Amino acid sequence: MDQEATLVIIKPDGLKKSLTGNILTRLSEAKLKIIGAKVVEVKEDLANTHYSHLKDKPFFQELIKYIRGKLHGENRVMSLVYCGENAIGKVRRIAGATNPEEADPISIRGAYGRILTTGLYENVIHASSESSEAEREIKLWFNPDEIVYDLYPALEKQFSSQTRRVWQ
Ligand code: DAT
Ligand code: MG
């Protein structure tokens, strides 16, 4: 596939600071396609799995609170899948370096991020950093039917005992 996909998460500080429109405008410079988008309340399991590679870091617990919105009195993030040529690199460039103080001031993280007194980088957005990570993250955050493109192989599965909420 010459098309690459990447996961973007507008973190709770981005939503709290009303930066959603601004961030989407910045990302549109990359001329990629949005093929999935939703607002998510991040449960502990999702947060832990998303950041499982960082579980031994001293800032891990704070990071989990951050992505779950516990530091901002928010219970939302917005997650998006962008697709196109070199999507991962293009989005990472617009996002900027992980450390907001080192990030290009014109990048999203450089312009709007900060370092908390606890040392945690509050850096407004998440962006996948390489293709295996993007695949893992997209599969974690989205079901096949929530993406308007057959990104990865999927199968039909029947769940006879499944209960789910429907509109009353
Ligand atoms: P990125 O989000 O740029 O891919 P990462 O995956 O290494 O960076 O880390 C995930 C998040 O954890 C990052 O966005 C902010 C936080 N973080 C990473 N390294 C940190 C550090 N040394 N000190 C504080 N927070 C850090
Ligand atoms: Mg990362």
Separation of 130 CA from ligand 2 center, angstroms?
9
The gap between the terminal CA atoms of the chain, to the nearest Å, is 42
Q: How far is the CA of 98 from the centre of ligand 1 (A)?
A: 6
Q: Please tell me the distance between residue 108's alpha carbon and the centre of ligand 1 in angstroms.
A: 15
Q: What is the average pLDDT across 6-15?
A: 98
Q: Which residues contact 65 (CB under 8 A, 6 or more apart)?
A: 71
Could you tell me if 32 and 90 are in contact, meaning their C-beta atoms sit under 8 angstroms apart?
yes
54-91 tens-digit pLDDT: 999 999 999 999 999 999 999 999 999 999 999 999 99
Question: For the residues 139-166, what does the mean pLDDT come to?
Answer: 94
Give 85-130 pLDDT, tens digit per residue. Answer: 999 999 999 999 999 999 999 999 999 999 999 999 999 999 999 9
Q: Among 9, 56, 67, 121, name the best residue to mutate to test ligand 1's pocket (greatest count of ligand atoms within 8 A of Cβ).
A: 121
Residues taking part in catalysis: 126
Ligand 1: residue whose CA is nearest its atom 5: 98
Structural domains present in the chain: 4-146 (3.30.70.141)
* 127 token code pair: 């962006």
The DSSP output letter for 148 is: S
